[in-house]
Amino acid sequence: MEFTEIKKDLFTMPDTYSLAHCISSDAKMGAGIAVLFRKHFKLASLQNMANSSPLVIGTCYKVDRALNLVTKAKYFQKPTYQTLTLAIESMRDICLQEGIAQLAMPQIGCGLDKLQWGRVREIIKDAFAETDIEIVICTL
């Protein structure tokens, strides 16, 4: 695994990168960076799926280049480190199954969700330690 943190707009990363973010199982995506993901990746299919039955917490759902980590039940709730860890491990498994070699994301779980970046960084590094996946953390 190669892990770097850079100051860059996440949405200007090359198309070879899959982009990851956190969402709730109701897939509302009405605040924070999730709004931009919804616009960039047309995530209506994910929202439609959540309308019929909630998305599974601790799971990652891939739509196009977007990796949507479900870390909490409702948009107004906060995730736990456990639910984030499960979702990151699910994302890792998807990357390995689908041959995704490049991954970019913001400091997931640390904006509106209020988790500590130092702990989240270690969770990501631990989950991807035995892979050859390049991970870029984009901050503005």
Per-residue pLDDT tens for 64-105?
A: 999 999 999 998 999 999 999 999 999 999 999 999 999 999
- Using the predicted structure, report yes or no on whether residue 110 has a pLDDT greater than 90: yes
CB-based contacts of 138: which residues, under 8 Å, 6+ apart? 6, 7, 8, 9, 10, 13, 104, 105, 106
Alpha-carbon distance of 6 to 22, in angstroms, equals 19
φ/ψ of 26, rounded to 5, equals -85, -5
Query: Which residues are the active-site residues?
Result: 72, 113
At 98, which amino acid appears?
E
Kindly report the number of other CB atoms within 10 A of residue 7's CB atom. Answer: 7
Q: Give the separation between CA 55 and CA 49, rounded to whole angstroms.
A: 7
Domain boundaries, the chain: 2-139
2-139: CATH superfamily: Leucine Aminopeptidase, subunit E, domain 1 (3.40.220.10)
Give the model's pLDDT for residue 63.
95
pTM: predicted TM-score of the whole model, two decimal places: 0.96
